[in-house]
Amino acid sequence: MFLSAMYDNVRGPFVPTIKNEFNINNTGIATTLLVCSLGYMISTYVGGILCEKIGQKRVFVLGFILIILSPIGIYFSRNFTIYMMELFLLNMGQAFIGIAINTIVPIIALSFQAIIMNLTHFSYGVGATFTQRFTGIMLYEGITWREIYIIIAIISAITFLGFLFVRLPELHISKDSEKIKYKEIFNNKLIYFYMIALGSYVAAEINTGNWFINFMYSEYGYNENRSSVYTALFFGTFTVGRLLGGFIVEKLGYIKSVLISITIAFILYLAGLIIGEKGIAIISISGLFFAITFPTIVLSISKVFKNNTAYITGLVIAASSFISMMINLLIGAMNDYLGVYQSYYIIPICLLLCMIFTYLIQLNTRKILGCNGRGLDE
């Protein structure tokens, strides 16, 4: 999770440099992020099927191979097309690792699953905070973006060697004799509520990482070093939220906790944008209330859908990646045609959508999750 955060969050600080090196505009940057989301989306869906068929351990291995080799390809890329192809492969690897993590935790954690899932994703927050701040510093000190990718590839290789000795359940077979009930799944409106709720949230989180530095650079003239302080603050509070949030979720219940948290995040984010330059810190602090949304929504899937859980988890996360991908493309285009400040309002709009569909999930899962909001089996 730490490595995944590093790969996701180097992209934001690299935006001004990449634009200059490859001579592209904001729409070009949006295209690279589109390619990243496409690779992640496709591989999350495929990864959910592979987890059902061959087990999470092998899916992990596939992911590690890709996240080690593709950054080397990025280092040697000398044109924009090759750079995007390598980013596609990198995000395939991240997706395989991500879906393996999100489907293995409910299997190996028999109790306090919300705490364990949020602590697992806490590592993502640590990686995001570290990367946003230190990438800005390294770029400012003259280390190139290509060299930073190689550094992360070396860290990935070392982590992979250690992971080979980790014992995981050999195979996670679907409870329903491995048969995936496609018709039943796609006719369930709750699946689509999950897709939109998670997708709009992911769009808000990922595009904050992708565009926050560019927003401060374009609107207020902040350099990479100064703007990385605010992105690091966002992901720092985000990390604290994941460290502590699981305990709150265990008390209040899954969906109720998400609904309260994302509402506060929306209010803070919107207020920070309206205030202007003095509100940047408020946007950063909103990260505290982003924190529990993704891991808690994903964990609730295993409580709501008892059969084909890995497949449904992969499907929902893949759909959320598609939504995030399209919103990112929209932000990039709006940056060039309407201006950076106006286009940035899309992020609080995404948080509002997440609020609405999380509420619809709550209405439709009360009988399933029970009074404690964590599942009738608990």
State both tokens at 125.
């927050």
Q: Which amino acid is at 97?
A: I
Residue-wise pLDDT for 5-54, tens only, equals 888 878 777 887 888 888 888 778 878 878 887 898 899 999 988 988 88
**Judging by beta carbons within 10 Å of its beta carbon (0-12, 13-18, 19+), is residue 110 exposed, middle or buried?**
exposed
Residue of 322, 364, 294 whose CA lies nearest to 123: 294
Three-class secondary structure of residue 172 per DSSP: coil
Residue-wise pLDDT for 281-297, tens only, equals 999 999 999 999 999 99
pLDDT band at residue 183, thresholds of 50, 70 and 90?
Answer: confident
- Based on its alpha-carbon atoms, the radius of gyration of the chain, rounded to whole angstroms, reads 20
Average pLDDT, the chain: 87
Higher pLDDT, 31 or 301: 301
Rounded to a whole number of angstroms, the distance between the first and last alpha carbons of the chain is 27
pLDDT band at residue 366, thresholds of 50, 70 and 90?
Answer: confident
pLDDT band at residue 170, thresholds of 50, 70 and 90?
Answer: low
**H or E stretch including 273?**
helix 254-275
CATH class, domain 2-163+178-369, is mainly alpha
pLDDT for residue 377: 47
Percent of the chain with pLDDT strictly greater than 90: 41
pLDDT for residue 156: 94
Q: At what angle do helices 113-140 and 2-9 cross, to 10 degrees?
A: 40
Q: How many CA atoms lie within 13 A of 261 on its CB side?
A: 29
pLDDT reading at 177 higher than 50: no
Domain assignments of the chain as residue spans, ordered by start: 2-163+178-369
